[in-house]
């Protein structure tokens, strides 16, 4: 069954038009698949399970958000873009992570009927290069209701069934890691009483070394090489002053400049770029990992090393 994955029937061919009569994005395919056993269903969706496992296990993406990313890519296949998941799996991890970030932006457009012009002008170059030149945020805004219905059906009838075991394993792994880090940070606080109280509430996954010396003089390296990319969860707005205060409080005068996503005053920024004064500051913040999760005033924030677009294209 796996061999025929990329030959699944597609109802709508995108030229790029989505017919309202086909707004569920592949109902006949889903109804056919419902009759399969769980084992057959998982075999048929083996490639989807593989990309989801990569996202949540290897890249430490949020399991719930990653499920939505897979649903979005499957919906794109249902409406006519061929072999989306297969193409993504052929890419380096850094590019897959970038595509996941762009999927997050696309989903925000789909679920937000008040998307501003600034949001629609956001860059989804990686997705366009991989899937289709005409695939832009305006496409998702134009067909948002159709996409919402199609995504809901795919999530309920495909993703929740075929990815459930991987999601549970990832959540259990994350919870265990978080508890271990909590205990480690508590121990560090006992050993280093000069550390500010409350750090255990500020760090999620990934241990963080606090109080280690590093240069606060800007490195003579390009800003892109000492930049961190941070993302915020939709519905939990994080303000610039909160980001600046958090990192300054726990890591000292590490920020050279901070660039929040430009949005309308009534809208939420979903990402930001932090240019650090030193590459050693990035090493301390990420603690040698590719990605770190923080909790800023009760709101989850993911941080990773910024990778410029031109490096993606060279990968």
Q: Tokens 């993911």 map to which residue?
A: 302
Q: For residue 299, what is the DSSP state?
A: E
CA–CA separation, 30 vs 18, rounded Å?
18
Average pLDDT over residues 99-122: 77
CA–CA separation, 5 vs 258, rounded Å?
44
Sign of CA dihedral 58, 61, 63, 65: negative
Domains of the chain: 2-162 (no CATH), 195-314 (3.30.70.330)
pTM, rounded to two decimals: 0.54
- Measured CA distances, 73 to 27, 94, 196, 200 (Å): 16, 18, 43, 36
Which residues 6+ apart lie within 8 Å of 76 measured at CB?
Answer: 84, 131, 135
pLDDT over threshold 70, residue 119? no
Average pLDDT over residues 205-224: 53
Please check whether residue 26 is in contact with residue 11, taking contact to mean a CB–CB distance below 8 angstroms: yes
CA–CA separation, 161 vs 166, rounded Å?
10
pLDDT over threshold 80, residue 181? no
Sign of CA dihedral 258, 126, 60, 156: positive
Q: Tokens 């994955």 map to which residue?
A: 5
Kindly state the percentage of the chain with pLDDT values over 70: 70
> What does the pLDDT look like over 83-93, one tens digit per residue?
999 999 999 88
CA–CA separation, 239 vs 166, rounded Å?
33
Q: Tokens 């994350």 map to which residue?
A: 174
CA–CA separation, 13 vs 18, rounded Å?
8
255: tokens are 């920020």
More confident position, 172 or 133: 172
- The torsion of the CA quartet 66, 205, 57, 300, rounded to 10 degrees, works out to 0
> What does the pLDDT look like over 260-282, one tens digit per residue?
988 888 888 889 999 998 888 88
């Amino acid at each position: 069954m796996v061999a025929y994955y990329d030959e699944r029937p597609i109802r709508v061919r995108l030229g790029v038009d989505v017919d309202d009569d086909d707004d569920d994005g592949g109902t006949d395919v889903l109804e056919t698949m419902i009759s399969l056993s769980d084992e057959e269903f998982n075999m048929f969706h083996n490639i989807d399970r593989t990309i989801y496992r990569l996202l949540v296990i290897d890249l430490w993406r949020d399991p719930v958000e990653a499920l939505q990313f897979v649903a979005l890519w499957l919906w794109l296949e249902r409406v006519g873009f061929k072999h989306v998941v297969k193409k993504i799996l052929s890419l380096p991890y850094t590019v897959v992570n970038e595509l996941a970030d762009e999927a997050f932006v696309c989903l925000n457009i789909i679920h937000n009927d008040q998307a501003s012009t600034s949001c629609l002008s956001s860059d989804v170059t990686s997705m366009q290069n991989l899937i289709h030149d005409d695939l832009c945020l305006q496409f998702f805004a134009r067909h948002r209701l159709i996409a919402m219905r199609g995504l809901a059906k795919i999530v309920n009838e495909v993703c929740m069934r075929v990815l459930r075991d991987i999601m549970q394993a990832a959540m259990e792994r994350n919870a265990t890691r978080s508890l271990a880090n909590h205990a480690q940070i508590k121990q560090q606080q006992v050993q280093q009483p000069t550390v500010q109280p409350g750090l255990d509430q500020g760090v999620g996954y990934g241990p963080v070394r606090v109080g280690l010396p590093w240069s606060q003089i800007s490195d003579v390296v390009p800003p892109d090489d000492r930049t961190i990319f941070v993302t915020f969860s939709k519905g939990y707005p994080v303000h610039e002053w909160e980001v600046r205060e958090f990192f300054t409080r726990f890591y000292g005068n590490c920020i050279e400049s901070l660039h929040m996503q430009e949005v309308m005053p009534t809208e939420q920024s979903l990402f930001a770029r932090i240019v650090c004064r030193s590459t050693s500051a990035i090493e301390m913040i990420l603690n040698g990992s590719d990605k770190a999760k923080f909790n800023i005033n009760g709101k989850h924030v993911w941080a990773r090393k910024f990778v410029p677009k031109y490096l993606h294209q060279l990968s």
